[in-house]
Amino acid sequence: MKHLLISILVLGVAAGACGQQAAPTPAKAADSGPTLAATMQFIQEKLSQQGQVGWAETYSNQPNVPRRIFVQLTDVMADPAACTLYTTETNETFVDLPKGSTFKSNGKPVNDDDLHTHIVETDTVSFKQVEKVTVEFIVNRALGVPAHPEISARLTPPIFYVRLWPSDAVFAIHASTTTGKQAPVEKDVTSKIMGYYYRDQETANKVAKAMTHAMELCGGGVTKKDLF
């Protein structure tokens, strides 16, 4: 599940030159450090080892109706020859409705069977199209509905999110969504939002560093404004 995220802390370090006459710092050679094959293998292993990541979301307009969300990656394959990462993400969302309460979605009542959503998503990422990688410490997130910008969600516990940034919607996603006992809904989209959830900062930072290195080796990280 890919969301538009509002983070209260973006983890990263930026370096700049001081003084008008200072020469720009030479860029690190893309071919230094681990090989692309070793880097992609590291990414594959770290994504596969993460296991299930879970948290509770409480929305500001429904503070007594938490959602429990569980995300897990499977079938992770990193192909160095194609500079491409393939993953399958399973997302389970449960709405914990207090006894005697009703729940509405888009203004319509939701019955008990539909308080569980199961999403299986297959994602394809080309590191040639990634321009930067960040680690975000997620405590709050936007609801994602333009008509209600005042509504936000709080996550417990906070989650670290390794986010890949392209300039265009280039990430290929196929999602199969099952709500309650309804039939699955299949959908293919391209998105500008792609990322991976982690419980701890250290692992998230290591994965982000490896993905940045893969991006550089694959020729990503270059935008038109960088060419001149």
CA–CA distance, 217 with 127 (Å, rounded to integer): 9
If one counts the domains in the chain, the total is 1
Whats the size of the chain, residue-wise? 228
Flag whether pLDDT at 148 surpasses 80.
no
Residue 49 within a domain: yes
Both structure tokens of 110: 């939701």
Flag whether pLDDT at 20 surpasses 60.
no
Phi, psi (degrees; rounded to nearest 5) at 188? -115, 130
Residue 213 within a domain: yes
Peptide bond into 66 cis (omega under 30): no
**Mean of the per-residue pLDDT values of the chain:** 82
DSSP, res 124: E
Flag whether pLDDT at 171 surpasses 90.
yes
Quick check: 32 and 178 in contact, CB under 8 A? no
Span 71-98, average pLDDT: 95
Residue with the larger pLDDT of the pair 184 and 65: 184
Residue 26 within a domain: no
Report the candidate in 160, 85, 180 with the shortest Cα–Cα distance to residue 128: 85
Span 154-170, average pLDDT: 94
Span 57-79, average pLDDT: 92
The boundaries of the domain holding residue 153 are: 33-218
Tens of pLDDT, residue by residue over 178-190, are: 998 889 999 999 9
pLDDT at site 31: 53
Q: pLDDT category, 107, cuts 50, 70, 90? A: low
DSSP, res 188: E
pLDDT at site 25: 32
Report the 10 Å Cβ neighbour count for 51. Answer: 9
DSSP, res 162: E
For residue 227, the Cα-to-chain-centroid distance in whole angstroms is 28
Quick check: 185 and 176 in contact, CB under 8 A? yes
